[in-house]
Chains A and B, each alone.
Chain A
Amino acid sequence: MTLKSLLLSSALGVAMLVPGLASAKDLTVAIQNNLTGLDPTNVNDTLSQTSLRLIYQGLFGFDKDMKLVPLLAESYESNADATEFTIKLREGVKFHDGTDFNAEAVKINLDRLRNPDNNLSRRSLVSMINMVEVVDDLTVRLVLDAPFGAMIASLAHPGAMIISPAALEKYGDEINRHPVGTGAFVFDNWAADTLTVTRNDDYWKGPAKVDRVVIRSVPESGARMAMLQTGEAQFVPNFPPELMQVIEKNPDLKVDISPSIVEYYVAMNNNKEPFGNQKVRQALNHAVDKDAFCQIVFSGLCSPADSIIPKDLSFHVTAGEYEFDLERARELMAEAGYADGFETEIWANSNTESLRAMQFLQQQLAQINVDVNVVPLEAGVAAQRIWSIESAEDAEVQMYYGGWSSSTGDADWGIRPLLLGENAPPSMFNVAYYADEELDAAITGAIGTADPTERAKYYETAQKLAWDGAPWIFLGVADLVAAQTADVTGVHMLPDRGFLLEDAAFTE
């Protein structure tokens, strides 16, 4: 009876067109999590930040390969020691509410973001700015407290996107729910799990080719795939690799695989024995088969790391290779006085992928008698036990498995928070508690200048030093998998797991 009635009621559904399906000119994107807010200066997750690129733009931004491009700015100049930046703005741009985009608007935005009283979570992007000066209507000058060579990259981060000053005035804190920017789409509605934006016909680059974009949160990956198959969604970023085969069999769908800038590593706490010993750290690097890591944890969609930062990040150089060599690993362990191995524990978040990675590492390190206990931590517990400790001495972490992507697309944010000596938790993310004077000098040297050639030299030194010092077990850089319907063009994954939809179009 149940099946019969179900079939009956379902059959009735055929008569009417199923309303969940979007019309041809609407692009629906299915993502895995809910958005957390619509104020770009006050959200932290990649999905929210990248979705807001539909509505907002920054002075600078990224193209689909995450190369820095000017957006609301036309050009910039800086002085030699990277303490003053003069930025020329684009002419004739208007916000969605009709307000003019100009130097005053930039000043209001940057002053709001860097003001500690406003408690905006993206303040660190511009906190080094001491003064924002309006030179003329289309020119602003930023005067910094100290040299900061990665300033322009910071301004390209979605957290520094520019909000209409009139809207800021009108909505105050409520700007989080009433976004007004200069982007290709105008905010329409943000319900429980859906963001809808409509085309901005006055967009300065010319109107977009789709009428509306709908960003829907669909937590279950099987359901996201089903939406793609039924045409309810046209783009699914961050597609789980294990579902790829289904897509590949379907001629109406296609998969896009591209390298990311998300590097995975195991940080070893240098304050804890035996990880204070460089030979031990190098031995562990030789004991892990990185190709196998890529196969097992990311179904082969990953490449072994060859430096502390991924290939596609600016200033990357190949720093070396720790080939998989158990003999060499055992030798180094013996030289360090640990021929019989030792016992330790590894921490990571409790998701399936991290668990798989930790178990893999456990098995690999057992080959050189290192006995690893796997400790998965729920996100809140991890935040407390790893990142919110009072001081470095309280840190109990021994090995930590995690991934990092530099959301400014610049080597600075890929290295400084993770490896500068003073950046150990709780201040930043140097969970290896690695402190090396030469490395510190190279990292700070690189932000002391805005000259790319100079910075490149510093970063080359930094990468070689860090590789040799081996504060981490260098693992791999994951690929990105996105799936889309074949009739859509112009949707791109960004290497930091964000996406760009501005050029989306349907082929007829």
Chain B
Amino acid sequence: MLSFLIKRLLGMIPVVLMVMVAVFAFVHMLPGDPARLVAGPEATAQDVAAVRSALGLDKPLPQQFLTYVNNTIHGDFGLSLKTRRPVVEEIGMRLMPTVWLTLFAMIWSVAIGLLIGVVSAVKRGRWPDYGGMILAVSGISFPPFWLGLLLINLFSVRLGWLPTGGYGTWQHFLMPSFTLGLGVAAVMARFTRSAFIEIAREDYVRTARAKGVPERSVIWRHSLRNALIPIITMVGLQFGFLLGGSIVIESVFAWPGVGRLLVDSVSYRDYPVIQALVLMFSLQFIFINLLVDILYVFANPEIRYQ
């Protein structure tokens, strides 16, 4: 296990380097002049030129790239072009809100998704199955933007129970995490259902039933446990996507997270922030994959890593 971990960690280095090259190239290929955007709508040509040289954007591209790699290795991600705050601080302020939001959303989605999925699979072809799947399909097709506003209108404006948005106490988490989790819950339900049905056809399940193992135990011990492997993979992938992809939710609920930061930074051509964020999202995916691999072992001890 340890040597597996070390190998996986070392293997990340070339991946990270490739990501850095790709991100740098991608960001500089975006049409638009960041100096012009930073200098603002009323800036004169001289102002723009001054901003450009202050930001080092007048230097040749290879030189800018070397500076970028060198700084990144030393943990220096530079200053945001937009706010002139250090990028690390800019992301730092918004990272935890997004991580927490994602975690809570995952809890909603796993709880709801697993339950609906298992129930649908067990009661296959009967009304709980149809009901569950109708819910799941609506969950996938519900625009989160609309659902968010609907919840705000109900729980904040009409009932006055929850704050409309922002970040702080547990009340702030309920609506955004639920809205975010619901879409994933739907995916999770469908996924669990098919994984479960697949497993139910396996010989060992039939054997267990034939031996007279109670149905409850067949479902929860024999089937669910094995169905968990693809489900964990799914959770891992969804988690990665959610971390960077909760942009709509973050806008609707005025959530100070990294999704909104990324959108703002792209429209502003805030190169240092975009580069740091994309690098961070790539690392997240790599780590989540690693975590998923480790979780497999706990779900099914038959799996051993060499």
Q: Which residues of B contact A13 (CB under 8 A)?
A: 161-162, 171, 174
Contacts of B245 in A (CB 8 A): none
Who on chain A is nearest to B151 by CB? Answer: A6
Question: How far is A176 from B43 in the complex, measured between Cα atoms in Å?
Answer: 19
Query: Measured between C-beta atoms, what is the minimum distance from B263 to chain A in Å?
Result: 9
B42 touches A407 (CB 8 A): yes
Q: A226-B164, A383-B33 are in contact. Are A428 and B45 (CB under 8 A)?
A: yes
Q: How far is the CB of B186 from chain A (nearest CB, A)?
A: 11
Asked if B69 is at the interface of the complex by the 8 Å CB criterion, the answer is: no
Q: Is the CB of A490 closer than 8 A to any CB of chain B?
A: no
Stretch at the interface among A83-91, A117-125, A295-303, A333-341: A117-125
Binds A, one of B80-88, B227-235, B283-291, B294-302: B80-88
Binding stretch for chain B, among A130-138, A227-235, A312-320 = A227-235
Residue of A nearest to B97 (CB): A192
- B140, CB-defined interface residue at 8 Å: no
**Quick check: is A10 within 8 A (CB to CB) of the other chain?**
yes
**Interface hits, A426-445 → B, CB 8 Å:** 426-429
Contact between A191 and B93 (Cβ–Cβ < 8 Å)?
Answer: yes
Confirm or deny: A392 has a beta carbon within 8 angstroms of a beta carbon on chain B.
Answer: no
List the B residue with the shortest CB-CB distance to A117.
B50
Give the complex CA separation of A427 and B174 in angstroms: 51
CA distance A429 to B42 in the complex (A): 8
- Report the Cα distance A223→B153, complex, angstroms: 9
Q: Give Cα A217 to B37, complex, Å.
A: 20
Q: Using a CB-CB cutoff of 8 Å, which residues 373-408 of chain A contact chain B? A: 378-381, 383-384, 387-388, 407
- Docked complex Cα distance between A35 and B80 (Å): 13
Complexed CA–CA distance, A191 and B83 (Å): 12
Interface check A25, CB cutoff 8 A: no
Which chain B residues numbered 45 to 60 have a C-beta less than 8 Å away from chain A? 45-48, 50-51, 53-54
Max chain A Cβ within 10 angstroms of own Cβ: one of B42, B48, B53, B165:
B42
For chain B, residues 126 to 164, give those with C-beta under 8 angstroms from any C-beta of chain A: 149, 152-153, 155-157, 159-164
Q: Are A191 and B256 in contact (CB under 8 A)?
A: yes
Asked, given contacts A1-B115, A177-B85, whether A223 binds B43 with beta carbons under 8 Å apart, the answer is: no
Q: Per-residue 0/1 for A18-51: is the Cβ within 8 Å of any B Cβ (1 yes, 0 no)? A: 1111000000000000111101001111000000
Contact flags A155-184 to B (C-beta < 8 A → 1, else 0): 000000000000000000100110000000
A220 touches B161 (CB 8 A): no
- Asked if A45 and B31 make an inter-chain contact with CB atoms under 8 angstroms apart, the answer reads no
CA of A261 to CA of B115, assembled, Å = 58
**Chain B contacts for A45, CB-based, 8 A:** 40
* Chain A residues within an 8 Å CB radius of B40: 43-45, 121
Complexed CA–CA distance, A45 and B153 (Å): 31
**CA distance in complex: A284, B241 (Å):** 50
Count chain A CB atoms within 10 A of each CB in B30, B31, B115 and give the residue with the most: B31
Measured CA separation A278–B41 after assembly (Å): 28
* Contact among B153, B155, B252, B264 with A10 in the assembled complex (CB-CB below 8 Å): B155
Is the beta-carbon distance between B165 and A227 smaller than 8 angstroms? yes
Beta-carbon contact of B163 and A21 below 8 Å: yes
Cα distance, A387 to B41, chains bound together (Å): 9
The interface residues of chain B lying within 8 Å CB-to-CB of A37 are 82-84
Say which size band chain A's interface belongs to.
35 or more
Which residues of A sit under 8 angstroms from B178, Cβ to Cβ?
Answer: 2, 6
Known: A20-B171, A223-B152, A378-B267. A44 touches B165 (CB 8 A): no
Which listed residue, B33, B90, B156, B161, touches A388 by the CB 8 Å rule?
B33
Known: A37-B84, A193-B254. A223 touches B37 (CB 8 A): no
Closest chain B residue, CB of each to CB of A407: B42
Contact A388/B36 with A13-B171, A20-B172 known, Cβ cut-off 8 Å? yes
- Which residues of chain A have C-beta atoms less than 8 A from B171's C-beta? 13, 16, 18-20
* CB <8 Å contact, B164 and A223: yes
Instruction: Let me know if A384 and B33 touch, CB within 8 A.
Output: yes
A9 interface residue (CB < 8 Å to B): yes
CB-based nearest B residue for A417: B42
Q: Are B163 and A18 in contact (CB under 8 A)?
A: yes
Q: In the complex, what distance in Å separates the CA atom of A317 from the CA atom of B230?
A: 73
A268 to B216, CA, bound (A): 76
Indicate if the CB atoms of B164 and A227 lie closer than 8 Å: yes
A44–B50 CB distance below 8 A: no
Say whether A114 faces chain B, with CB atoms less than 8 Å apart.
Answer: no
A223 and B254 contact, Cβ closer than 8 Å, known pairs A383-B37, A387-B36: yes
| Residue numbers in B under 8 Å from A226 (CB-CB) | 149, 152-153, 156-157, 164-165
Contact (Cβ within 8 A) B44 A427? yes
Residues in B92-106 with C-beta less than 8 Å from chain A: 93-94, 97
- Rounded to whole angstroms, the CA-CA distance of A426 and B36 in the bound complex is 10
Q: How far is the CB of B49 from chain A (nearest CB, A)?
A: 9
From A219, A381, A387, A427, B254 is in contact (CB under 8 Å) with A219
Instruction: Establish whether residues B174 and A219, one from each chain, have CB atoms under 8 Å apart when the complex forms.
Output: no
Cβ-based interface call for A290 (8 A): no
A218 at the B interface (CB under 8 A): yes
Taking CB as reference atom, which chain A residue is nearest B37? A383
Q: With A and B bound together, what is the CA distance between A232 and B83 in angstroms? A: 26
Tell me if B3 counts as interface (CB < 8 A to partner A).
no
The answer, yes or no, to whether B112 is at the interface (CB within 8 Å) is: yes
Contact of A230 with B267 at beta-carbon distance under 8 Å, contacts A124-B44, A176-B84 already known: no
Nearest-neighbour CB distance to chain B for A396, whole angstroms, equals 14
Counting CB contacts under 8 A, is A116 at the interface? Answer: yes
Partner of B161, one of A14, A219, A383, A387: A14
6 A-B pairs with least C-beta separation:
A380-B32, A44-B40, A20-B163, A192-B256, A218-B254, A119-B54
